[in-house]
Amino acid sequence: MTHRYVGRELTDADIDTIRRICADPTYPTRAAIARETCRCLGWVGANGKPKDMSAKVALARMDADGLIDLPAPTHKATRPYRHLQETITPGPEIACRLSELSDIEIALVGRATRASAVWNEMIGRFHYLGYTPASGAQLRYLATTTTGAPIAAISFAASAWALEDRDAWIGWNAEQRKARLHLVVGNPRFLVAPWVAVPNLASHLLAAITRRLRGDWQARYGYAPVLVETFVHSDRHRGTCYQAANWTRVGRTKGRGKLDRYNAYALPVKDIYLYPLARSFRSQLTAPLH
């Protein structure tokens, strides 16, 4: 029997290994258990580094499902994203043509920086999905004016494990998807600040950021993705900026979400949009496995 957590398939033997690690006093904390799990199971990313954060998330879900017994968390979760500081003052309204909004700066956001706090606050206060911390590989970008006023925030992270319409469009079989899913990244958040009313700004930012995405991802994680995906809640949005930036609508989700392991179908159905980051994306994703 196999179990799947955060895109990783684990056999009963793997679960037994994790149970032994949990019971070993050499590894008294969840972080230590995650590191040893990565070492024992060869749980590494495409850059060869242990996927500690993904393992921690998976272990917590295994514990919740009753498969393993983890020690209590060392630190009590404070969920700071529910208490984001309000340091951004909306306005004054920016309403002009795109050509009149000169010198937009797009910065890659680092962790534990002022830009990171601004990004978190913008998404937490003004995006309809709110802010939740992401685990695993991710990049965040903050767009500002020359005066430093934030105008947009966008992020990229892990893609969905399985999407019937996406996988059919790529031409993937299950084994190819399993081996190359890391070459597809998701776009879970994109926000243009509500005080900004500049036609075509959203598609302009999408184009500018996707041009640099492969290089930025390569620099941070040691490999370059070839395709990016996003989901548009059609009851709320028309997907106009993605269409204008030449993203392709390939179908719809089933309402399950990345974390649905029990076919609950509890989420809204959304349109799936894809954008190739390399001309050879399909051949790279569907090449025969050796």
Do 276 and 151 belong together in one domain?
Answer: yes
pLDDT range class, residue 86, cuts 50, 70, 90: confident
The pLDDT, as a whole number, for residue 147 is 82
pLDDT at 125 over 50: yes
Do the Cβ atoms of 232 and 242 come closer than 8 Å? Answer: yes
CA dist 201 and 233 (Å) reads 20
Vertex 122: Cα angle to 266 and 245 (nearest 5): 75
Instruction: Kindly tell me if the per-residue pLDDT of 233 is higher than 80.
Output: yes
Strand partners, 94: 196
Q: How confident is the model over 39-56, as a mean pLDDT? A: 86
**45 found inside a domain:** yes
Residue 83: per-residue pLDDT: 52
pTM for the full model? 0.77
Residues 130 and 190 occupy one common structural domain? yes
Residue range 238-286, pLDDT digits in tens: 899 999 999 999 999 987 655 545 555 557 889 999 999 999 999 999 9
Residue 79 has pLDDT above 50, yes or no: no
Helix and strand tally (H, E) in the chain?
9, 11
In a domain, 274, yes or no: yes
- Same structural domain, 34 and 111: no
Is 78's pLDDT higher than 50? no
- Supply the CATH number for residue 235's domain: 3.40.630.30
Q: Are residues 104 and 148 in the same domain?
A: yes
Q: 196: which strand partners?
A: 94
53 is a domain residue: yes
Shared domain for 218 and 159, answered yes or no, is: yes
Q: Taking residues 194-222, what's their average pLDDT?
A: 95
Question: Would you say residue 177 lies in a domain?
Answer: yes
Same-domain status, 149 and 177? yes
What pLDDT was estimated at residue 242? Answer: 96
Domain encompassing residue 230: 80-286
CA distances from 174 to 127, 160, 281 (A): 34, 13, 17
Are 203 and 119 in a shared domain?
yes
Question: Are 54 and 149 in a shared domain?
Answer: no
Backbone angles phi, psi at 102, to 5 degrees: -85, 155
Query: Which has the higher per-residue pLDDT, 214 or 235?
Result: 214
Same domain, 14 and 155: no
Q: Are residues 234 and 132 in the same domain?
A: yes
At residue 80, the pLDDT reads: 47
Check whether residue 105 and residue 230 sit in a common domain: yes
Total tally of structural domains belonging to the chain: 2
